[in-house]
């Protein structure tokens, strides 16, 4: 059974279709309880059949493309992903449900599913290993695997209107601070991968 009111949205491009079988295959194996949307420049027969495909116009600015795709997602919350964020281990459904519920009941706009360069931050939930991303952090916003309140992500992109994926990373943290968008990250003292 799929988690209610949460879906994975994968930003991708048709030129990366060679990785889709592995990417979606790992989700099917490691997290089969998640619904999927693919945000892609055009529909192709190679698109996976186990997700809803939402096309975007490649010539448009990134913000317009992303907002239009997000507005077609039924669920309240999304997990932002890209096709190269390949799962490498099983995901506990109960943990994702707890994070989603925590997000819904909180003042936070997002929960990043990894530490990804953040230093410090106040521990807000020891049981789930949730730390607040410091407001001054250079990585307050980043394109990583993140559970977002969809409406807050749309509000953010509508505010600063990045022209490209790179612009969203360069200016997203400043835009979050301007709007008072706050978030958390999950860190359970895991060792760095590769160590």
% of the chain at pLDDT higher than 90: 88
Question: pTM of the full predicted structure?
Answer: 0.95
Q: Is the pLDDT of residue 194 over 70?
A: no
The predicted structure's pLDDT at residue 47? 77
pLDDT at 41 over 70: yes
How confident is the model over 111-135, as pLDDT tens digits? 999 988 888 899 999 999 999 999 9
In the chain, pLDDT over 70 holds for what percent of residues? Answer: 97
- pLDDT of residue 195 exceeding 60, the answer is no
Where is average pLDDT lowest: 1-5, 30-34, 100-104?
A: 1-5
Residue 45 has a pLDDT of: 77
DSSP letters for the chain: -PPTTEEEEEE--GGGTTTHHHHHHHHHHH-TT-EEEEEESS--TTS-TTSEEEE--TTS-HHHHHHHHHTT--SSEEEEEETT----S---HHHHHHHHHHHHTSS-SEEESS-TT-----EEETTTTEEEPPTT-TTSS-SSSEEEEHHHHHHHHHHH--SSHHHHHHHHHHHHHHHT--EEEE---PPPTT-
Q: Inform me whether the pLDDT recorded for 191 exceeds 80.
A: no
Q: What is the pLDDT of residue 5?
A: 95
pLDDT of 185 over the 80 cut: yes
Mean pLDDT, the chain, as a whole number?
94
């Amino acid at each position: 059974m799929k988690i209610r009111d949460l879906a994975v949205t994968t930003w991708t491009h048709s030129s990366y279709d060679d990785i889709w079988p592995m990417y979606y295959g790992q989700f099917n194996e490691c997290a089969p309880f998640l619904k999927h949307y693919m945000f892609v420049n055009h529909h192709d027969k190679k698109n996976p059949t186990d997700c809803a495909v939402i096309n975007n116009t490649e010539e448009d600015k990134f913000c317009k493309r992303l907002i239009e795709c997000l507005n077609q997602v039924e669920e309240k919350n999304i997990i932002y992903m890209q096709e190269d964020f390949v799962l490498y281990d099983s995901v506990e459904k109960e943990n994702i449900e707890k994070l989603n519920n925590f997000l819904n009941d909180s003042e936070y706009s997002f929960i990043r599913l990894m530490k990804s360069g953040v230093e410090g931050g106040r521990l807000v939930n020891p049981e789930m290993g949730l730390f607040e991303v410091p407001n001054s952090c250079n990585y307050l916003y980043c394109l990583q695997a993140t559970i977002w309140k969809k409406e807050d992500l749309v509000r953010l992109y509508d505010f600063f209107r990045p022209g490209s994926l790179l612009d969203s990373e360069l200016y997203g943290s400043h835009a979050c601070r301007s709007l008072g968008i706050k978030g958390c990250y999950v860190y359970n003292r895991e060792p760095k991968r590769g160590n």
